[in-house]
Amino acid sequence: MSRVRCIIVLFASLAFISCRSIRTVSYEIEKEHVASELRIVQISDFHSNDFGSDESKLIKKIKNAEPDIIVITGDLYDRRMGEEKYFGNVELLLSGIQNICPIFFVTGNHDFVNLQFAEKYALLETYGVRILHDEFLFFLHDDGAVVIAGIHDPYFDLGDAVAHIMRDQKEKYRARLASLAKKTREAVAAYEEQNGQRVLFTVLLAHRPEYVSDYEQYDFDIILSGHTHGGQWRFPPFINGVYAPGQGVFPKYAGGKYVLKNEAATIMIVCRGLSYQQPKVARIFNNPELVLVRVIKMQEKKKKR
């Protein structure tokens, strides 16, 4: 076999593997008031895909990460996978992870396609998943309270029209975000005053990373997003992603860990997502991704800065 042919075969093989093999990517975030590690597993852009018999490969990866919290940041459902898998694969996944730890969910754009809102929400609730409808909850960890906030995708404001009109309702989304941030900030202040104890940190679940300039206006400690599918094609270390919806060509927030330019120095993590069957564009050097966020105690030398 010629050298050129060998290179082509090798490239094609690597591209095939990178589009199907799940990779767990771990990020560390240090917080001053955290004494013991808290582990958050992020599932994003599942799109009703197949990951082994009864979703066994994905479920095993999630269990191996030993999470304290599981968050699902949108695009769980995808009608393009066919009637049986549309709901069936979601149910297989949820049934396999329901007893691991608390699970929180926010919608992505594809969760609104083809409507059936009541059926989708009911399936999640059957397996104990807490849907965050532009709201927040306090999660009690060993060291204290963590706030988990979640906002519906911009498609939420389209209502039933989402079945016909596929566009963001940007101003309504921004208004809902502002309202959620205000309510969360007030609740944190009230909790700390009543309990005499600091909230450990706040997390915002938001499917769309392209609204980063809006997120920077608020003081969430951590933001977990998806939607980009990792830019679909990657050529590390030179190109982090080729194209992402809402950001276009060579997206800045294709996937990874970003420090936002606000007073809180918010950490935004963009998950590259799991989907490899829909949309029908092969992922190249861009494995389906599961994210593990390890929130750990801040080192003393950093506190003194």
pLDDT of 279: 78
Q: How open is the CA angle 171-226-105, to the nearest 5 degrees? A: 85
Cis peptide before 279 (omega within 30 of 0): yes
pLDDT of 305: 47
Tell me: the pLDDT tens digits for 172-209? 999 999 999 999 999 999 999 999 999 999 999 999 99
Query: Average pLDDT over the chain, rounded to whole?
Result: 92
Q: How open is the CA angle 130-89-44, to the nearest 5 degrees? A: 55
- The predicted model gives 32-61 an average pLDDT of 96
Q: How open is the CA angle 14-16-18, to the nearest 5 degrees? A: 65
pLDDT of 281: 81
Q: Is the pLDDT confidence value at 131 over 50?
A: yes
Residue 123, classified by CB atoms within 10 Å of its CB into exposed (0-12), middle (13-18) or buried (19+), is: middle
Confidence of residue 301 (pLDDT cuts 50, 70, 90): very low
Confidence of residue 1 (pLDDT cuts 50, 70, 90): low
Contact 67, 61 (CB under 8 A): no
Largest CA distance in the chain: 73
Tell me: the pLDDT tens digits for 248-295? 999 999 999 999 999 999 999 999 999 999 878 888 889 999 999 999
Quick one: tokens of 21? 């093999």
Reduced to 3 states, what is the DSSP secondary structure of residue 304? coil
Q: Is the pLDDT confidence value at 48 over 80?
A: yes
Question: Comparing C-alpha atoms, which of 79, 126, 127 is closest to residue 101?
Answer: 127
Residue reference for tokens 């599981």: 70
Q: Is the pLDDT confidence value at 220 over 80?
A: yes
164 compared with 222, residue with greater pLDDT: 222
Q: Is the pLDDT confidence value at 302 over 70?
A: no
Quick one: tokens of 254? 């294709």
Confidence of residue 34 (pLDDT cuts 50, 70, 90): very high
Tell me: the pLDDT tens digits for 83-106? 899 999 999 999 999 999 999 999
Residue 236, classified by CB atoms within 10 Å of its CB into exposed (0-12), middle (13-18) or buried (19+), is: exposed
Reduced to 3 states, what is the DSSP secondary structure of residue 111? helix
Residue reference for tokens 């963001």: 168
Q: Is the pLDDT confidence value at 124 over 90?
A: yes
pLDDT of 164: 78
DSSP code string of 40-96? EEEE---TT---SGGGHHHHHHHHHT--SEEEEES----GGG-HHHHHHHHHHHHHH
pLDDT of 304: 47
Alpha helices in 196-299 (DSSP H): 212-215
* Helix-helix angle 83-97:117-126, to 10 degrees: 30
Reduced to 3 states, what is the DSSP secondary structure of residue 11? helix
pLDDT of 9: 54
Residue reference for tokens 């771990």: 26
pTM over the 0.75 mark: yes
pLDDT of 236: 85
Tell me: the pLDDT tens digits for 134-147? 999 999 988 899 99
Confidence of residue 242 (pLDDT cuts 50, 70, 90): very high
Reduced to 3 states, what is the DSSP secondary structure of residue 153? coil
Question: CA–CA separation, 96 vs 40, rounded Å?
Answer: 17
